[in-house]
Structure formats: C-alpha cells, structure tokens
C-alpha cells in the first residue's frame, strides 16, 4: 500500500482480483481571528477525492488520521490532515466483507 492509495488483492481459484482507491490528503489554510477559526484556502490532491473527505473509503473501510499544524504567521497556519491505514482494522474489515477468517488474510505480495 502506498501512502496515497489503498489496494487489496484477492486470490480466487486461479484469478487475482484487485481493488484500489485513492486516499485523500487535505490541507487547509486557517486563520485564528480570536473568536473562531476560519478556513481561508483549501488544498487537495486531485479532483477525484472531495476536499472534505470524511475518513471512510468508498468501499466502507474507516481510516484513522493525524493532523499537524504548520505555522505561517501569528494568526495563520496550515492544517494538514493525513489518513492512515491500520493493518488490523483492514483485516477485520476484509474478514467481514469477504466472509473469510482473518487468518486467511495476509499483508504482503501475492505471487502466482
């Protein structure tokens, strides 16, 4: 899995099936006006992923995220939101979705 793409491969009989989805990474320019925070500018990866990604992929897998603040001025900063994939959460999700025991789900490369 790369940091911006979630990919799953499944071996079914003699075929390998693949599911892949881009993961949004968002950055917002925020202004602290003393009373509230105002989003001034929004930066996002591409036009396929919405700028207000809710942390759930189209397939239903929920992602965790971390935020970091990058100061620009005394009252302005960039808020960077990066989503993370947890292997154990993916195993649980795939186990339920594919109706297979999670011991049959492995992380790594498939060679045929």
Q: pTM for the whole thing? A: 0.68
pLDDT mean by block of 10 residues, the chain; 112 residues = 74 85 85 91 68 77 90 93 87 89 82 64
Model pLDDT, residue 73? 95
The total number of structural domains in the chain stands at 1
Domain extent at residue 76: 23-85
105 located within any domain: no
DSSP per residue, 84-111: E--HHHHHHHHHHHHT--GGG---S---
103 located within any domain: no
> What order of strands is seen across the sheet that includes strand 37-44?
37-44, 25-32, 76-84, 64-71
Model pLDDT, residue 35? 93
Model pLDDT, residue 83? 85
Burial class of residue 70, CB neighbours in 10 A (0-12, 13-18, 19+): exposed
């Amino acid at each position: 899995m790369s940091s911006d793409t979630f990919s799953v491969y499944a071996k079914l009989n003699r075929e390998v099936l693949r599911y892949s989805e881009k993961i949004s990474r968002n950055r917002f320019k925020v202004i602290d006006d003393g009373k509230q925070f105002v989003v001034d500018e929004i930066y996002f990866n591409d036009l396929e992923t919405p700028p207000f990604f809710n942390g759930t992929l189209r397939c239903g897998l929920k992602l965790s995220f971390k935020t970091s603040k990058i100061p620009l001025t005394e009252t302005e900063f960039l808020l960077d939101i990066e989503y993370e994939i947890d292997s154990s959460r993916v195993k649980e999700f795939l186990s339920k979705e594919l109706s297979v025991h999670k011991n049959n789900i492995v992380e790594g490369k498939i060679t045929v």
